[in-house]
Chains A and B, each alone.
Chain A
Amino acid sequence: MISPVIQTSSLTRHFGEIKAVDQLTLEVQAGEIFGFLGHNGAGKTTTVRLLNGVIEATSGEARVLGLNPQTQGSALRARTGVLTETPSLDERLTARDNLSIYADLYNFPRADVSARVHFLLTEFELAERADEKVAGYSKGMKQRLALARALLHKPEVLFLDEPTSGLDPVAARHVNDLVEHLARREGCTVFLCTHNLVEAQKLCDRVAVMEHGHLVALGTPSDLTRQYVKRLDVDLEVDPTQIELVLQIVQGLPQLVSGPPKRKKDMLTLTLSGRKAIPELLHILVQKGLHVYRLAPQEANLEEVYFALHGNTQ
């Protein structure tokens, strides 16, 4: 069996009284896009710092690419790339300089530096303004440049700390496509910190949800929705003349339909007690001679998981 790319066991970091990361145990496999979710202050950035050996753990263990971040940090960082929360670019330098300096820091083969820099600048649509100072760049351009810098040395593991925050939808889509490409085509492992749940749902193979430094949920987005979202909304469309009848019927089924139905034109939205209620409800409606045109469960999403978890812990 291939060992996981990231592995932590009871990883903990305190800042005085604050437990920024508390007893974190998880594994991330090679080539995975792993979403690390959590509200502000949940411990996402602290975890990225711990995993790259730039701060020390209070207790617990971590291995990234088989290396110990605390004792083999330099060797480890040569193989990881990190997009920090703020772009952390030298605004007094040009985009080209910003990248070339990092090529030296990663000891990128000298002969290939200018080609690599040119490739990245083109790829991230910065080539035209590559020799301008970064201070004059827009937020999106800065974020793209920071991402290009994180990829410069072709890292095996990429840590992205809220890569699309503050980007317009087009730029955000561009970044997400790129992340997907890196993971799917180039086998890069991606550790993605975000509070954008829609994005995480679309992009991530698995997600972890953090809350005040604790891991509160871990699994694929669909696992988690199944596990945490107990109630289920379905859209029901019947013959318009039968709507009143339907309302009457569902009122008598409190074990299947929880809460009052919502009506929008000729469509009803019912909140069911779970997946099992769908066939039962359909059976009853058909038995009562109703013409059911449509009974469609609404896709539950991570957002609901997130709020379900939030409700649990507060």
Chain B
Amino acid sequence: MNTRAIFAIARKDLKVAIQNKGVVLPIIILPLVLFVILPWIMVYASSFTETTGASNDIGELLARMPAGLLHELSGFTPNQQLIVFSLVYMLAPMFLIMPLMVSSVLAADSFAGEKERKTLEALLYTPITDRELFAAKLLGSWTTALAVTVLSFIVYAVMVNAAGWQSIGRIFFPNWMWIALVVWVTPAVAGLGLVVMVFASARAQGFQDAYQTGGLVVLPVIALMIGQVSGVMYFSLSVVMIVGLAIWLIDAVLLWFASKSFRRSQLMTKF
């Protein structure tokens, strides 16, 4: 593997991608809303329900939750329970949108965008092998997605603790489930966003086109969110580990197919 060439392309893709508003805006706005503004709204809303006596409704919501979750929440007052439930558990699946969105938007620019800008042809005339080119393109998007996600996680941790401080009075975030989520599930989800976008880009005419089709990859994450809110399941440490494993396996299968079809001759003739 020619690592020098791989890094050169990964760096180039990134340098080019950050000049695309369609890439940069969602990467800035999404974490700002989810991880900076939302914690404060949740905490404010929970204090509001307490004073209006709406806590009965919350009690009903929590009553529907699995016993395991109720056990984890048992040390908190009802008001604290609401904060912990919404910020620690409900937002956990939503957090996965971050690596998914960042990696897929970058991959769309790298694969479909490159096709649209017609810069691929010259690259294909260099000594870089198909495998190296594929690795370079994945690497750039994947590492950036991870970096952005870890950064959002840190910001979120600070925001959650700050917002909940008045009510809870100690640092309650992150727990082990969240650490597993960030370390184990996030990289797999970023990988999923990537590979799906590789497939979407092969058929797409350009960045927008690929991003619209590939964007459907958020559906499974939304399913996880619904599962959590409806009480079908909750993000315990073991669920997180299993979800992570499942996504890694899906990644491996998709990656195998994607790398098989990533051939110079095919890229060139699909112009």
Interface residue ranges, A against B (CB under 8 Å): 15, 49, 52-56, 73-75, 77-78, 80, 82, 84, 86, 88-93, 97, 101-102, 104-107, 146, 149
Contacts and interface: CB of A to CB of B under 8 A. Distances in A.
Given A88-B120, A105-B126, 20 more contacts: A53-B264, A54-B124, A54-B125, A55-B268, A74-B127, A74-B128, A77-B125, A78-B127, A82-B122, A84-B122, A88-B122, A89-B119, A92-B16, A92-B19, A92-B117, A102-B126, A104-B8, A105-B127, A105-B128, A106-B127
22 contacts: A54-B124, A54-B265, A55-B264, A55-B269, A75-B127, A80-B125, A82-B125, A84-B125, A86-B121, A88-B119, A90-B12, A90-B117, A90-B119, A92-B19, A93-B12, A93-B16, A101-B11, A104-B8, A105-B123, A105-B127, A106-B126, A146-B122
Contact of A54 (B5, B8, B268): B268
B134 interface: no
A149 B122 CA distance: 9
A77 B119 contact: no
A296 B65 CA distance: 102
A91 B113 CA distance: 12
Given A56-B265, A97-B15, A104 B4 contact: yes
Interface string B206-241: 000000000000000000000000000000000000
B129 interface: yes
Contacts of A80: 125
A52 to B, nearest CB: 6
A88 B16 contact: no
B2 to A, nearest CB: 7
B52 to A, nearest CB: 53
Interface string B89-107: 0000000000000000000
A73 B5 CA distance: 16
Interface string B1-37: 0101101110110011001000000000000000000
A105 B5 contact: yes
Residue of B5, B12, B269 with highest tally of chain A CB at under 10 A = B12
B203 interface: no
A101 B127 contact: no
A77 B127 contact: yes
A105 B8 contact: yes
B193 to A, nearest CB: 23
B21 to A, nearest CB: 12
B64 interface: no
